[in-house]
Amino acid sequence: SSTAASSTVGGGGSSEISGVKKTSKRPKYSRFTQQELPACKPILTPRWVILTFLVAGVVFIPLGVICLFASQGVVEIVDRYDTDCIPTSSRNNMVAYIQGEGDKICKRTITVTKAMKHPVYVYYQLENFYQNHRRYVKSRNDAQLRSPKEEHDVKTCAPEDNVGGEPIVPCGLVAWSLFNDTYSFSRNSQQLLVNKKGISWKSDRENKFGKNVFPKNFQKGAPIGGGTLNISKPLSEQEDLIVWMRTAALPTFRKLYGKIETDLHAGDTITVLLQNNYNTYSFNGQKKLVLSTTSWLGGRNDFLGIAYLTVGSICLFLAVTFAVLYLVKPRQLGDPSYLSWNRSAGGLQ
Amino acid sequence: MDPRKSIDKPPHHDPILGVSSRWSVSSKDNKEVTFGDLGSKRIRHGSAGADSEMLSMSQKEIKDEDARLIYINDPDRTNERFEFTGNSIKTAKYSVFTFLPRNLFEQFHRVAYIYFLVIAVLNQLPQLAVFGRGASIMPLAFVLLVSAIKDAYEDFRRHRSDRVENNRLALVFEDHQFREKKWKHIRVGEVIKVQSNQTLPCDMVLLATSDPTGVVYVQTTNLDGESNLKTRYAKQETLLKAADMESFNGFIKCEKPNRNIYGFQANMEIDGRRLSLGPSNIILRGCELKNTAWALGVVVYAGGETKAMLNNSGAPSKRSRLETRMNLEIILLSLFLIVLCTIAAATAAVWLRTHRDDLDTILFYRRKDYSERPGGKNYKYYGWGWEIFFTFFMAVIVYQIMIPISLYISMELVRIGQAYFMTNDDQMYDESSDSSFQCRALNINEDLGQIKYLFSDKTGTLTDNKMEFQCACIEGVDYSDREPADSEHPGYSIEVDGIILKPKMRVRVDPVLLQLTKTGKATEEAKRANEFFLSLAACNTIVPIVSNTSDPNVKLVDYQGESPDEQALVYAAAAYGFLLIERTSGHIVINVRGETQRFNVLGLHEFDSDRKRMSVILGCPDMSVKLFVKGADSSMFGVMDESYGGVIHETKIQLHAYSSDGLRTLVVGMRELNDSEFEQWHSSFEAASTALIGRAGLLRKVAGNIETNLRIVGATAIEDKLQRGVPEAIESLRIAGIKVWVLTGDKQETAISIGFSSRLLTRNMRQIVINSNSLDSCRRSLEEANASIASNDESDNVALIIDGTSLIYVLDNDLEDVLFQVACKCSAILCCRVAPFQKAGIVALVKNRTSDMTLAIGDGANDVSMIQMADVGVGISGQEGRQAVMASDFAMGQFRFLVPLLLVHGHWNYQRMGYMILYNFYRNAVFVLILFWYVLFTCYTLTTAITEWSSVLYSVIYTAIPTIIIGILDKDLGRQTLLDHPQLYGVGQRAEGYSTTLFWYTMIDTIWQSAAIFFIPMFAYWGSTIDTSSLGDLWTIAAVVVVNLHLAMDVIRWNWITHAAIWGSIVAACICVIVIDVIPTLPGYWAIFQVGKTWMFWFCLLAIVVTSLLPRFAIKFLVEYYRPSDVRIAREAEKLGTFRESQPVGVEMNLIQDPPRR
């Protein structure tokens, strides 16, 4: 910044050159340079403020009601099975049980309390599972998932990068910990089909996971984290993996397992045969099976509705309060006698 | 003896040198005096003719080790012993090769960049890599690149102008003749011939000139901006020798190169004779030779060592008050940052500790890496101590924008924008000098809105410094009637040799006096009147310059000189028929009503501030020798012949009347010298003027000896007109609560009178006058004053008038405190008879005792110290050169521009900057807190749901432009309102725009808003299938919308630029988020589209926006409605037009009051 001023004193040459042009230094007049651009100057008058709050209240309360209705309309059945699916004998060492060999089949019975229109979404819900753990989310490689040419690009995937020098596809902790509990449903001893197609994002299937990328060396290493993959299917068709790889934002999350394409009626008893393979026991993670319908707003969650109602009521309350205040104790806007110097002068008189 | 001959005779060998065989007598205080130093200030007062300091400088002697030796006309020998710089200059900073390293080095002098760099480097450590390489380096690289391009362009231009400069040609004596040589090849020791109107290529000691007496005239416009001519002299000894350059041999021993353009000391030895050289013997690079056909000089300083180049530095850099105040909050934010990082590190540690046995089996942690060896080794786990350490620093990286480094860059941009508008303000353009406002310091714009104390020079600042001769008092008789300004009288002109000579400026004459002078020497009165005007025409240092007009028969006589008072007097003399036509160092030619007379100047005692007078000894055509003395009345009456007591008394009465009218007065005296007196004076003058030690003192003594027993001739009164709009401006500033101090060298009556006419003083003010001659009496009167103000309690109406003598006792003394207390209670302070060095002392007195802002405004070199001392220095680019401007932070043409500058621009800039700082703190903290809340839900690891690119772009693209635009363009009140109600300026003085309280309110709001932005979606999506990227995008967009709407809520004036910036930023942010999400190799691929098609997303967004801004909106309304600030009321009044209906009472009443006249 010192350079701007420096040419004025010394270096006679430069100042002489500029001295030749004898034009007036008068600044060019424009509304812009005089900071007089046409402008709108809104001020917060009581009317405007009260009106704003009124409108906000009037809009928010119905929205809140609509949200609550949407949420209440969702039928949701949640069944926590992580502890129940461990035989009582192994309950004091659940980790050993889950890591042990053998079939860990578990049978659960669910009663449908309210009619559920199809499609009924089947979710597994994990709690206390930090899929957003920094160490975890970084341990993946998106390029490798997309193109076979990048299969050696595994350096971000440690500690699950390669096995015996060969790269793992898909590499990284995220893929390695693929959820592998399985559910099969039957109603009145009649199989309920679970549609596992189209549970992932279309954009992921088409552009993110390669159609010619096949699993390699997956779950070949010493500790096995979770599910295995069918090595003959390209990644773009491994929808469970695709869903799993969309890491959850919060430590309590659901992931779509499939869809039941038939209506469920109130009072139906559904038997679930599940394979309890996934180890959440080492960190007190909970596993829940969720059957839920959906609304235009999403799943069952009253929070937003309540929030809208609360904010709406506050706005209405403020509108009323301000209106009362305004009527009881108004101030004339723009009255110069309120100016501090006029006030003190008035005080003296 | 014939006085005409004596002056041409070379002086005899100096007796003093015979005693001192050494070259120099070392002086202890041989310190370098720089451009802005007090020592180099020229004191301008009354008939100030020359620089007394110049002479005193030359008596100091040079130590050998501090000297450079120059062999005249022997550059080879000169340059073989010392390495002197050549004459090629290089203002360009970089070459092609050094550009990159040097430019980077310079850029990293900024703390902000270092912070960026440290964070970026931390991020490169594998354990700490939070962001990818690109994202972490991008912002820094961007800023560096932009600055580098700007620097490179500027440097390119400097290279070009250097090349032009270096290739100019000069005549250099080489191989027995003068040859053209490029400037860059000129060496120290060479002899150069400069012709009229040429620019000097380097600093040279004059050897000879075309004038037989060795005088040259130079114009120093390029050096200090002063357009009048300065006289410089060649030594008599070298004058004759220079005709034969071949045999010229001698050497010069001079001081090392320094920046003081008003000082030079050297000794020259020619043919074994030693001469002393002073600042009047050197001509400097950048000056132009005028009125002299040619001059010969020997190069003493060349190229970068010339005084012009050494002075080639920018304006002093100051730091704005707001920025300094802001540092406290920056520290608070740093603490806040440390707290956040500590929480993150501590919670992470607790988690690791409680799960230490399970780390290998936890699916999302898995400590061991089995791929290398069967037993496994720890992967990215270094023990939990290290993990805490790494987490802490990772947190620092993630939360880095908590410290709003981008704020510094935004502030710079905003200031540039503000400066642009100030510079382009039509109302601060001065037509008469064709100068627009100049912003020389770019970092204290907002200080203009907080000024509490204004220190103003009087002459040239409050007044025009265009002196007009008003009254004459001859023999105690007052002649002050003047012909009307629009009279038909053509003004005086005279025909000489068929050519009509006319003074350039017309002076209105007193017809009675004019008639009197025309009667010749008939009466005693007429004789006195003639004597009076002769002394006015002769006793000065004015150089007449005769210039051609369009009519070949008419020539204009223009009087050039360093003192405007002298100019006015010489023009007055011309109007009465005493036309000064020619001046050389040896003689002057005066045309007395058509008859050309030649007077020999036998001696000239220049003005100095001790004697406060100057004198000239003339050999008149009638062979008599006369001494004419002119000076301030205080110094003149002491040296008058007592026998003229009656006249003196009458004159004193007249003088009092003049100065009461605000006129500047001078007294003229004369004496005829007889032969013995002259002889005696002449020998001591010769001895003194060639003395090497204490020359100035000796000369002063010689002058003092001869300037005695004078006969009073008369007195003059000159009006120094107030600039247009000064009274109104002072009135406005006073109403604005600014304490105005006027510091002037004038005497008390003049000062008080100007005080009234400028409305600094009003009739209803009680005046407290302090004129003390001793410490005790000064203390007494100050304490009395203090007590009387305290008891009366009418603090608004007290004016303090204090003179320079009293100030001597006050400054550097415990009395400073008392004076400050008194001054605090006074509404106007007038300091008269103030010496330049005291001006800075007074400013310092106030500045050191209060945290309020001070502003000093002045136009002359004597104001430089004050301008530099004050928090804000304003220079008036007027009559007295550009030194004040060079030292100032802001420069303008007229005093009255202070009103728009402070009340309008200062107010705006302060409000804008204050708001901008708070907003930037808020904006960054909101984002950091959103990131922080998320960490509590990611197992205390520093995962960010918001993509790293968005984190980086957030403060660069998403939210930066609106705040800069608002900082430049928003106006809380219109110009007219601010001008009409100066009280509104109090906002800045009371620091209402930015304070720690406001900071805390903002921070509480920040926490609420960040919580609303974070927790609403978190609860809404809890236990749902939402993925990290989608939620991150929601948070990003919500933050950007809220932050921009927050700003929109506070914008006062919406013009199309504001609209474009705010809405454009939101759109730009959305576009960026979309662009980031269409990259398939990023985890967030397509997330924004997936989440954007759900209603949930939009419902969350709406809820977030309303919920976060709700409290702020409600509280803002309540405060503005029920606790309205002045600004708010004025804004309402401005909009509703209620100002016009009820005019405020207090303002107009004062304006009507007429300044009382005595």
Instruction: Report the 10 Å Cβ neighbour count for B474.
Output: 27
* The pLDDT of residue B761: 87
Give A335's contacts in chain B (Cβ within 8 Å). Answer: 1129, 1133, 1138, 1142
Residue, of B259 and B477, whose pLDDT is higher = B477
CB-based contact B1086 A11, cutoff 8 Å: no
- Whether A207 has its CB under 8 Å from any CB of chain B: the answer is yes
CB-based contact B938 A134, cutoff 8 Å: yes
> What's the pLDDT tens digit per position in B304-351?
888 877 766 544 567 788 888 888 888 999 999 999 999 999 999 999
* The pLDDT of residue A307: 96
Residues of B classed as catalytic:
457
- B682-691, B816-825, B892-901, B1049-1058: segment of lowest average pLDDT: B682-691
Residue B23 resides in a domain: no
Instruction: Report the 10 Å Cβ neighbour count for B817.
Output: 13
Q: How far apart (Å, rounded) are the C-alpha atoms in residues B398 and B129?
A: 10
Strand order across the A269-275 sheet: A105-111, A269-275, A182-187, A190-192
Query: Chain A residue with minimal CA distance to B946?
Result: A249
Residues B712 and B754 in one domain: no
Which CATH number fits the domain that encloses residue B789?
A: 3.40.50.1000
Residues B695 and B839 in one domain: no
Task: Name the residue among B860, B869, B874, B875 with its Cα closest to residue B48.
Answer: B860
Residues B514 and B624 in one domain: yes
pTM for the full predicted model: 0.81
User: Which residue in this structure is represented by tokens 């977030």?
Assistant: B1104
- A299-308, B874-883, B1019-1028: segment of lowest average pLDDT: B874-883
Mean per-residue pLDDT, A129-154: 90
The amino acid present at B198, given as its one-letter code, is Q
* The pLDDT of residue B978: 93
> What's the pLDDT tens digit per position in B378-396?
777 888 888 899 999 999 9
* The pLDDT of residue B59: 41
- Whether A333 has its CB under 8 Å from any CB of chain B: the answer is yes
> What's the pLDDT tens digit per position in B644-659?
888 888 888 888 888 8
Specify which residues B590 forms β-bridges with: B580, B597
CB-based contact A130 B1132, cutoff 8 Å: no
Q: How far apart (Å, rounded) are the C-alpha atoms in residues B636 and B747?
A: 14
- Whether A12 has its CB under 8 Å from any CB of chain B: the answer is yes
Please tell me whether the interface predicted TM-score (ipTM) of this complex is above 0.95. no
Judged against a pLDDT cut of 60, whether residue B923 lies above it is answered with: yes
- A119-123, B479-483, B1016-1020: segment of lowest average pLDDT: B479-483
Which CATH number fits the domain that encloses residue B244?
A: 2.70.150.10
CB-based contact A146 B1114, cutoff 8 Å: no
* The pLDDT of residue B547: 77
> How many percent of chain B have pLDDT more than 90?
26
Give A248's contacts in chain B (Cβ within 8 Å). Answer: 1025-1028
Helix (H) or strand (E) holding B479: strand B477-479
Task: Name the residue among A120, A136, A88 with its Cα closest to residue A244.
Answer: A136
- Residues B457, B857 contacting (CB under 8 angstroms): yes
Our CA-based measurement puts residue A189 at a distance from the nearest CA of chain B, in whole angstroms, of: 30
Q: How far apart (Å, rounded) are the C-alpha atoms in residues A143 and A129?
A: 26
Judged against a pLDDT cut of 70, whether residue A216 lies above it is answered with: yes
Judged against a pLDDT cut of 80, whether residue B1146 lies above it is answered with: no
Residues B955 and B999 in one domain: yes
Mean per-residue pLDDT, B611-635: 87
User: Which residue in this structure is represented by tokens 């901008």?
Assistant: B916
Q: Which of B666, B699, B718 is the last residue of a domain?
A: B718
Nearest to B309 among A10, A255, A308 (CB): A10
Longest distance between any two alpha carbons in chain B, whole Å: 130
Residue B74 resides in a domain: no
Half-sphere exposure of B1008 (CA within 13 A, CB side): 16
Specify which residues B1095 forms β-bridges with: none
Residue B1070 resides in a domain: yes
Sequence-distant (6+) residues with CB within 8 A of B378 are: B367, B368, B369
Helices H / strands E in chain B, number of each: 42, 37
- Residues B441, B317 contacting (CB under 8 angstroms): yes
Residues B936 and B1051 in one domain: yes
- A226-230, B34-38, B729-733: segment of lowest average pLDDT: B34-38
> How many percent of chain A have pLDDT more than 90?
58
Q: How far apart (Å, rounded) are the C-alpha atoms in residues B1019 and B94?
A: 58
State which of A157-171, A292-306, B650-664 shows the largest mean pLDDT: A292-306
Task: Name the residue among B769, B833, B840 with its Cα closest to residue B805.
Answer: B833
pLDDT band per the 50, 70, 90 thresholds, residue A165: confident
Residue, of A349 and A32, whose pLDDT is higher = A32
Residue B62 resides in a domain: no
Q: Say how far residue B854 (Cα) sits from the centre of its chain.
A: 13
* The pLDDT of residue B796: 59
> What's the pLDDT tens digit per position in A65-102?
999 999 999 999 999 999 999 998 888 888 888 888 88
Residues B852 and B775 in one domain: yes
- B689-693, B970-974, B1099-1103: segment of lowest average pLDDT: B689-693
Residue, of A223 and B960, whose pLDDT is higher = B960
Residue B177 resides in a domain: no
Mean per-residue pLDDT, A154-179: 87
Q: How many separate domains does chain B show?
A: 6
**What secondary structure, in 3-state letters, does B938-983 show?**
CCCCCCCCCCHHHHHHHHHHHCHHHHHHHHHHCCCCCHHHHHHCHH
Count of pairs with CB atoms under 8 A, one residue in A, one in B: 368
Residues B1085 and B975 in one domain: yes
* Residue B219 falls in which region: left (phi positive, over 0), alpha (psi -120 to 50) or beta: beta
Q: Is B469 exposed, middle or buried (0-12, 13-18, 19+ CB in 10 A)?
A: buried
- Whether A95 has its CB under 8 Å from any CB of chain B: the answer is yes
pLDDT band per the 50, 70, 90 thresholds, residue B552: confident
Judged against a pLDDT cut of 60, whether residue B28 lies above it is answered with: no
- Residues B477, B510 contacting (CB under 8 angstroms): no
Judged against a pLDDT cut of 50, whether residue B33 lies above it is answered with: no
User: Which residue in this structure is represented by tokens 């190169």?
Assistant: B257
Q: How far apart (Å, rounded) are the C-alpha atoms in residues B939 and B350?
A: 10
* The pLDDT of residue B792: 64
Residues B441 and B572 in one domain: no
Instruction: Report the 10 Å Cβ neighbour count for B1146.
Output: 14
Judged against a pLDDT cut of 90, whether residue B1002 lies above it is answered with: yes
CB-based contact A249 B1080, cutoff 8 Å: no
Our CA-based measurement puts residue A254 at a distance from the nearest CA of chain B, in whole angstroms, of: 5
Supply the range of the domain harboring residue B217.
185-310
* The pLDDT of residue A321: 95
Q: How far apart (Å, rounded) are the C-alpha atoms in residues B372 and A164?
A: 8
pLDDT band per the 50, 70, 90 thresholds, residue B96: confident
Residues B761 and B884 in one domain: yes
Helix (H) or strand (E) holding B231: strand B229-233
Which CATH number fits the domain that encloses residue B662?
A: 3.40.1110.10
> What's the pLDDT tens digit per position in A42-66?
988 999 999 999 999 999 999 999 9
Residue B81 resides in a domain: no
Sequence-distant (6+) residues with CB within 8 A of B543 are: B217, B229, B231, B291, B559, B560, B561, B583
Nearest to A254 among B158, B355, B1023 (CB): B1023
Judged against a pLDDT cut of 90, whether residue B687 lies above it is answered with: no
* The pLDDT of residue A18: 38
Report whether B211 belongs to an annotated binding site.
Answer: no
Residue B1150 resides in a domain: no
Nearest to B429 among A8, A26, A222 (CB): A26
- Residues B299, B186 contacting (CB under 8 angstroms): yes
Give B311's contacts in chain A (Cβ within 8 Å). Answer: 9-10
Report whether B863 belongs to an annotated binding site.
Answer: yes
* The pLDDT of residue B2: 42
> What's the pLDDT tens digit per position in B840-850?
889 988 998 88
CB-based contact A142 B1085, cutoff 8 Å: yes
* The pLDDT of residue B319: 76
Residue B580 resides in a domain: yes
Q: Which of B132, B166, B200 is the last residue of a domain?
A: B166
Residues B712 and B726 in one domain: no
Q: Which of B891, B915, B946 is the last residue of a domain?
A: B891
* The pLDDT of residue B245: 73
**What secondary structure, in 3-state letters, does B629-656 show?**
EEECHHHHHHHECHHHHHHHHHHHHHHH
* The pLDDT of residue A211: 92
Judged against a pLDDT cut of 50, whether residue A12 lies above it is answered with: no
Judged against a pLDDT cut of 80, whether residue A221 lies above it is answered with: no
Residues B649 and B546 in one domain: yes
Judged against a pLDDT cut of 80, whether residue A6 lies above it is answered with: no
Task: Name the residue among B734, B738, B878 with its Cα closest to residue B448.
Answer: B738
CB-based contact B161 A13, cutoff 8 Å: yes
* The pLDDT of residue B27: 35
* The pLDDT of residue A114: 92
* The pLDDT of residue B1043: 97
Judged against a pLDDT cut of 80, whether residue B590 lies above it is answered with: yes
* The pLDDT of residue B9: 37
CB-based contact A11 B1120, cutoff 8 Å: no
DSSP E strand boundaries for B515-662: 543-548, 554-560, 578-583, 587-592, 595-605, 613-619, 625-631
Q: Which residues 218-237 in chain A show a CB within 8 A of chain B?
A: 221-223, 225-226
Residues across chain A: 349
Give A10's contacts in chain B (Cβ within 8 Å). Answer: 91, 222-223, 285-286, 306, 308-312
- Omega before residue B201 within 30° of 0, cis: no
Q: Which of A35, A78, A278, A309 to mutate to test the interface with B (most CBs of B within 10 A)?
A: A35
Q: Say how far residue B22 (Cα) sits from the centre of its chain.
A: 43
Residues B770 and B856 in one domain: yes
> What's the pLDDT tens digit per position in B224-274?
655 667 778 888 778 877 777 777 778 888 888 877 777 788 888 887 777
* The pLDDT of residue A164: 79
- Residues B742, B831 contacting (CB under 8 angstroms): yes
* The pLDDT of residue A262: 93
Half-sphere exposure of B1130 (CA within 13 A, CB side): 25
> What's the pLDDT tens digit per position in B47-79?
333 333 333 343 445 666 777 888 888 888 888
pLDDT band per the 50, 70, 90 thresholds, residue B542: confident
Sequence-distant (6+) residues with CB within 8 A of B653 are: none
Query: Quick one: tokens of B945?
Result: 């749901």
- B287-291, B668-672, B869-873: segment of lowest average pLDDT: B287-291
* The pLDDT of residue B327: 84
What are the DSSP calls for A198-220, one per residue?
A: T-S-HHIIIIIS-TT---BSTT-
CB-based contact B365 A225, cutoff 8 Å: no
Nearest to A221 among B371, B969, B1145 (CB): B371
> How many percent of chain B have pLDDT more than 70?
88
Our CA-based measurement puts residue B267 at a distance from the nearest CA of chain A, in whole angstroms, of: 26
